[in-house]
Chain A
Amino acid sequence: MEDKKVLIVGGGIDGVSVALEEAAAGAQVTIVEKFPTLGAERIPRDRLIKPEDAFINPDLNKVRNDNNVSILTYSDLKKVNRDNGKVQAKILKHSLRVDNSKCNDCKACIKVCPVNMFDDFDESFSFRTAVDYFNPATGEYNIFKEDMPVCQQACPVNLDIRTYVGQIADGKYLASLATIRDRLPLPGSIGRVCPHPCETACNRQYLDEPISICFLKRYVADVELNGGIEPVYETPAKKLPEKIAIIGAGPAGLTCAYHLAREGYENITIYETLPVPGGYLWVGIPEYRLPKKLLQREVDLIANMGIDIQYNKRIGKDISFEDLKNNNDAIFIGAGCHRGLKLRAPGEDEYEGKGIVDCVTFLRDQALGNPIETKGKLIVIGGGNAAIDSARVGWRMGFDEVYILYRRTKKEMPANPWEIDAAEHEGVIIQYLAAPVEILGKDGRVSGMKCIKMELGEPDASGRRRPVPIEGSEYVIDAETIVPALSQATNLEFLGENHGLDINRWNTFDIDEETGATNVQGVFAGGDVVTGPDIAIRAVAAGKKAAEGIHEYLRSR
């Protein structure tokens, strides 16, 4: 046991005493503490308590003087790798924001510090300043700074929201747009469709209502668009030669390509099955929420960075995945979830294509302009945004009546509340607490659906109350078209056989959270193909992360 090394995360009283125990047993101990001091020593509230009089845990001096213990304060544990019975940890040590070698403890900084914050030492009983002495043992000063504002933390791509909203307040619209584009290449599109987790987190809501972060993004993108300004996305002069293939021109793939092009890669090819870019942004989100013209412009801006987008190229059919892997230095898979889940009701298979269309196909057909028969009634089953989109699209296409069937109530509906309200306002009939039982048909076509009323029972694993059918409450709705919009799943047939990639039981990829790397070297994945159906901004975040992962991988080869 002579080279036993122990890492202790947390330098509180327990951490310190365990460290001493382990050191006494002969191990090399490292303590990692998030705060600038070890836990048992405190900032004296004022200098009435002289350091020598203050209560200090006697273990602290022991642990500091122990040669087998090294102490890392003001450090964060970033990543832990397990390998062959050993653990490797990546630790970020922050530097102090005050040059303590020049500090003579005059306290002038405390007097002028403009930031009064609640003191975490006495549970916010009093104020202290952001700059403060914190360590009675060393007398060092530091400036406390929070990591990120809550909105930025809530945003999957960590957009610098405070800056870009502030720049809009200053009237610097183009500077604001540049700030957004540093992390998000599709501001106009995302600004229209994002369900904005940032606004859900916004602190302003406790005063009146959250800042409209999402629409502000849309606004600056529109200022540029309406002003006729054509930006150019810059790429560095120093080019990198590696070949990179990206599968899918959705938000994940486009973002990945954008960030790689900004690193200087010039041989980036995106393979897209559909004749149009954008993935679900094009074929899932209806025109009234996201105009295709605007999306096309944002895609063109990315493509103009020297990225080759090849449409109508299905991997596994036009090019095999194996060839792609052999001919490229790195591959990013951002294929999305383009397979609608089945209803599993009797009659569904029988009438598949004869009145039953899953929502993915339904929305794709209308987006691509494929003919859809629009007479009679339409029933959409489900309560997500895809269901509302299908219903509102159906209503616009000219169905006589449009129904949405959802088995819980409006409160549990996962769709954005404003979308539900808009659908109801337009005339879509939403039947809550109703579920399909059987698809009815006549002469080889759907003629209606037998439904059953539900009531809410005990909460289930997701925390929502489980719907329970009410015996004998069946009723029939006549309909010519039924669109199940339950959820979507991945379709990984394009990989072919013997691809060697780890695929989990949800039929998605297992990836490294930090880099987006799969278990096969040089193959990266991100977006819905990893997370299952999710929001666009998370796919953008995955694309960015994978671009960083690919860059790191290619440069360290």
Chain B
Amino acid sequence: METGGYQIGRSRLPGLAALALAAVSLGVGRAEAPLFEPSLAAATPPPLLDADLVFRRGRDAIARIALAYSAQPRFSHVGLIVREGDATSVVHAIPVDVHSAGGVRREALGRFVAADMAADVAYYRIDALTSAQRAVVRRYVLDALGRPFDYQFQYSDSSAVYCTELVVKALAAAGLDLSPELTTVTGLTLREPVIPPDALGQARPLRPLTPLRRTTDNPMLAVPPP
């Protein structure tokens, strides 16, 4: 495991010197502001039910640059709420990173919306879902745990899933198929149209549980797309 900054990585400093430099560069021994500013989301989430949706805009540089160029950018990711007693978690599909092998994972809500993970968060509910349907959604996503992330973004193939695909298919399993009304995007190497999180967020059955901000409040739109 390599840890450290750009200078350290290049100079291959010997042990102690590298350790000392790493400590300085990582801010050990000095009071420093948090790495990321607080999320735009409310600190306390609203009361949530199984099958509620939670959207976030991550902190990723490339995702920010791409989303800022979209007409109504807000979210880069979505997951489904699963309750277990007093604990609330999110089941979602993510690509591989240095912390996990990726795929469909269950994560504590607090971690999903933590400041270092989310610049913005919103919660939605589909009021039309009955308790029985919510149970079906819950069972679907829990059964999907461990399924790999779909790097081909193919909705027609359920052996691997991307974030929006997981949510849409879980709702469809409960009898609510939103896919026909969702806006899709196409890409050069994409074999099928892809459903972006923002398209799902604009689906009619979804009711925001937190107040929606005006798009002018969105710092990503500080420089409007040309």
Asked if A and B are interacting partners, one says no
Q: Which residues of B contact A (CB under 8 A)?
A: none
Q: Which residues of A contact B (CB under 8 A)?
A: none
